[in-house]
């Protein structure tokens, strides 16, 4: 296809958006507005409604001429044949599962745009060199089975299949990921591995989940990679005492110190253009008239580069220790501060060939280079694991007010369609580029 041909492949916005809202009938969540589609989603991985969405995906892609393969993690690969049956497919991938109080776009848009791409390939009778596929990754959110991106992780052989199969659902239930795969009929026979089920490339359209594109009045983010992050639990140990009878000088107030540590982490991160956030804080004993003796809080440190995360963490470790020793005038009694590393995800850089395809597609679709920008993803996605085993890139579209993981998460139909068009063109461009380079015969 020439560049001009590519430009005739236009997403049918209404078809795609209507289909998206149709699939949001499987697992509809909280209502937030008065329009029929003003409800969020609650489609936990491997639930009955997730099965409904999966069944829809299988039927729809089969009807569009795809062969569908389900692997041992329930990852579902719908593949439309290419001219070269010996080449691995180029995929559009994302996920159909959601958080318990989610919106209609996170993950879902990427799959629906992939299905629209399959429609367009059929509408325009486009032949590609590579097979072209859409993959629905299982349990990306980690909301029900608490390992995020677990199934792309198994595919990339970064997470062991047995460990993934045995993850138990949150909330005290007895179901495991494997037992639920079996129950809903999505425990496939194909090994979940890039070795037996390779990809030529992985492209993921996703909502930004942040406020930058909207604030800058831009339409497309050409995602360069995913920022590095580290998660810690910080345990502060002081001494519980009576709020009425204990002068400040005799206190070892774990919450007062924790408050100052949290505030300080914000200052230090800002200084290095990094992010530091605390989302969980628990304390004991927890009564109005008792100074807390123990506080435990989460600390999430992120930056575009691994070195920046390391610098922020090193500075905070030094400062927290000093602050616990009372050097910031907490009191005369030292407290203890313990760090535990819970999770760590190094910075991910996507593949220049894929990024190049996305940039060319964005330029072609938008016509104006002021309407797209390079970005770093703040959140993890299945593309992180995909990128470890095949060339990968992501495309972001704006999120209204940056809201995500919330029923009011919203992206305009126009922006969804622009994103889908960039996704489709990126894949076709990548197919063309790779075919030129691989087809030496």
**By the criterion CB under 8 A, which residues form the site for a second copy?**
208-212, 215, 227, 229, 231, 240-248, 250, 253, 255-256, 258-260, 262-263, 266, 269-270, 275, 277-281, 283, 285-292, 298, 300, 302, 342, 377-380, 402-406
Q: In angstroms, what is the minimal distance from the CB of 109 to a second copy?
A: 15
Q: In angstroms, what is the minimal distance from the CB of 290 to a second copy?
A: 5
Residue 178 or 302 with smaller CB distance to a second copy: 302
Q: In angstroms, what is the minimal distance from the CB of 124 to a second copy?
A: 35
Contact 409, 102 (CB under 8 A): yes
Q: In angstroms, what is the minimal distance from the CB of 151 to a second copy?
A: 19
- Identify the sign of the CA torsion 50, 53, 59, 60: negative
Residue 82 or 110 with smaller CB distance to a second copy: 110
Residue 40 or 292 with smaller CB distance to a second copy: 292
Residue 202 or 230 with smaller CB distance to a second copy: 230
Q: In angstroms, what is the minimal distance from the CB of 50 to a second copy?
A: 20
Residue 36 or 247 with smaller CB distance to a second copy: 247
Contact 118, 80 (CB under 8 A): yes
Residue 22 or 248 with smaller CB distance to a second copy: 248
Q: In angstroms, what is the minimal distance from the CB of 210 to a second copy?
A: 3
Residue 291 or 390 with smaller CB distance to a second copy: 291
- Determine phi and psi for 371, rounding to 5 degrees: -95, 0
Name the pairing type of β-strands 392-397 and 220-226.
Answer: antiparallel
Residue 94 or 404 with smaller CB distance to a second copy: 404
Q: In angstroms, what is the minimal distance from the CB of 107 to a second copy?
A: 14
Q: In angstroms, what is the minimal distance from the CB of 235 to a second copy?
A: 15
Residue 245 or 437 with smaller CB distance to a second copy: 245
Q: In angstroms, what is the minimal distance from the CB of 82 to a second copy?
A: 35
Contact 269, 312 (CB under 8 A): yes
> Whose CA is closest to 206, among 319, 93, 123?
93
Q: In angstroms, what is the minimal distance from the CB of 45 to a second copy?
A: 16
Q: Extract the tokens encoding 204.
A: 């993921």
Residue 28's beta-bridge partner residues?
41
Q: Extract the tokens encoding 295.
A: 């506080």
Residue 18 or 342 with smaller CB distance to a second copy: 342
Residue 253 or 415 with smaller CB distance to a second copy: 253
Burial (Cβ within 10 Å: 0-12, 13-18, ≥19) of residue 397: buried
For 38, half-sphere exposure in the C-beta direction (CA atoms, 13 angstrom radius) is: 6
Q: In angstroms, what is the minimal distance from the CB of 253 to a second copy?
A: 7
């Amino acid at each position: 296809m020439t560049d001009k041909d590519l430009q005739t492949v236009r997403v049918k916005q209404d078809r795609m958006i209507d289909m998206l809202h149709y699939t949001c009938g499987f697992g509809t969540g909280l209502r937030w507005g008065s329009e029929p589609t003003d409800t969020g989603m609650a489609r936990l991985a491997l639930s009955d409604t997730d099965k409904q969405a999966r069944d829809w995906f299988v039927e729809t892609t089969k009807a569009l001429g795809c062969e569908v393969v389900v692997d041992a993690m329930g990852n579902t690969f719908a593949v439309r044949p290419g001219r070269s049956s010996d080449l691995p497919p180029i995929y559009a991938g994302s996920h159909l599962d959601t958080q318990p109080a989610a919106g209609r776009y996170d993950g879902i848009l990427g799959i629906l745009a992939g299905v629209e791409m399959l429609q367009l390939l059929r509408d325009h009778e486009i032949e590609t060199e590579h097979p072209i596929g859409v993959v629905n990754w299982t349990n990306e959110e980690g909301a029900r089975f608490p390992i995020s991106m677990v199934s792309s992780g198994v595919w990339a052989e970064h997470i062991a299949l047995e460990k993934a199969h045995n993850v138990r659902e949150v909330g005290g239930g007895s179901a495991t990921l494997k037992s639920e795969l079996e129950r809903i009929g999505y425990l496939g026979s194909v090994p979940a591995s890039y070795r037996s089920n390779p990809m030529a490339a992985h492209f993921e359209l996703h909502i930004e989940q942040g406020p930058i594109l909207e604030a800058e009045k831009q339409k497309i983010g050409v995602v360069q990679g995913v920022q590095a992050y580290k998660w810690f639990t910080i345990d502060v140990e002081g001494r519980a005492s009576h709020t009425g009878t204990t002068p400040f000088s005799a206190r070892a107030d774990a919450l007062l110190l924790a408050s100052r540590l949290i505030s300080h982490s914000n200052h230090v991160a800002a200084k290095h253009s990094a992010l530091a956030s605390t989302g969980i804080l628990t304390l004991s004993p927890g009564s109005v008239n008792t100074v807390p003796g123990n506080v435990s809080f989460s600390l999430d440190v992120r930056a575009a580069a691994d070195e920046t995360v390391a610098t922020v963490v090193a500075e905070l470790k030094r400062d927290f220790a000093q602050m616990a020793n009372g050097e910031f005038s907490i009191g005369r009694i030292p407290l203890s501060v313990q760090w535990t590393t819970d999770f760590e995800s190094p910075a991910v850089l996507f593949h220049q060939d894929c990024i190049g395809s996305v940039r060319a597609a964005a330029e072609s679709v938008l016509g104006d280079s002021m309407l797209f920008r390079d970005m770093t993803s703040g959140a993890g996605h299945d593309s992180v694991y995909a990128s470890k085993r095949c060339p990968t890139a992501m495309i972001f579209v704006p999120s209204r007010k940056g809201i995500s993981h919330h029923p009011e998460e919203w992206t305009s139909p126009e922006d969804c369609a622009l994103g889908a068009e960039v996704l489709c063109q990126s894949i076709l461009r990548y197919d063309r580029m790779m075919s030129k380079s691989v087809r030496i015969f």
